[in-house]
Amino acid sequence: MTRRTVHLAVYDTFADWETGHTTAHLTQHGFTVRTVGPTTDPVTTMGGVRAQPDLALDALNPEDSALLILTGAHLWDACDDLAPFAAKARAFLDAGVPVAAICGATAGLAREGLLNDRAHTSAVSFYLDATGYRGGDHYRDADAVTDRNLITAGPTEPVAFAREVFALLGVYEGEKLDAWYRLFHDSDASAYEILSS
């Protein structure tokens, strides 16, 4: 992986807790995380935190990125305001650049047609069925799923989501990836020694 910049989408009602593990550990392993908003105007997360995007969505190019991360937000289901982020995800995937979507962002990708022919997951299958998408046969009842540069996860699985990102970007591999997951998901203290070696 030569590109070391990861782009994190931020928008009003952004679910703060869903990407903390992912972005913190990417930063600790030499990646730069830049935030992308609908514009460069500040947004307010679901937790009430104001965030100032580094750049506007229309200035984001797949060739400048190693990964686009999309989190859940009430807006995914309340209106079409976030549809441009799903369209940008299509541009990333078409360019061979990975996308990671968790929680409500999976519904946005379903509406965009990006889950019609890829293995994927979400909160529950009927949540995505309500979007009218045609990918139900590819739904997997799993914590997180990676298929052809697209990672999906449900809202209760930020650690599994991070694990898939780390595997895809080569941050951790093999025994260390397993140890990281056991430490942060299962509170398995024995994994710390492996991870720190």
pLDDT digits (tens, 9 = 90+) for 23-34: 999 999 999 999
CATH 3.40.50.880 fits domain 5-172: yes
Single out the catalytic residue among 6, 97, 102, 103: 103
Share of the chain above pLDDT 70, in %: 99
Question: Quick check: 171 pLDDT over 90?
Answer: yes
Q: Where does the pLDDT of residue 197 fall: very low under 50, low under 70, confident under 90, or very high at 90 and above?
A: confident
> Could you tell me the maximum CA-CA distance found in the chain, to the nearest angstrom?
48
Residue 1: pLDDT above 50? no
- Rama region for 144: left / alpha / beta (φ>0; ψ in -120 to 50; rest): beta
**What's the confidence (pLDDT) of residue 139?**
98
pLDDT band of residue 2 (cuts 50, 70, 90) is low
From CA 69, how far away is CA 102, in angstroms rounded? 8
What is the mean predicted confidence (pLDDT) over 144-164? Answer: 98
> Is-catalytic flag, 79?
no
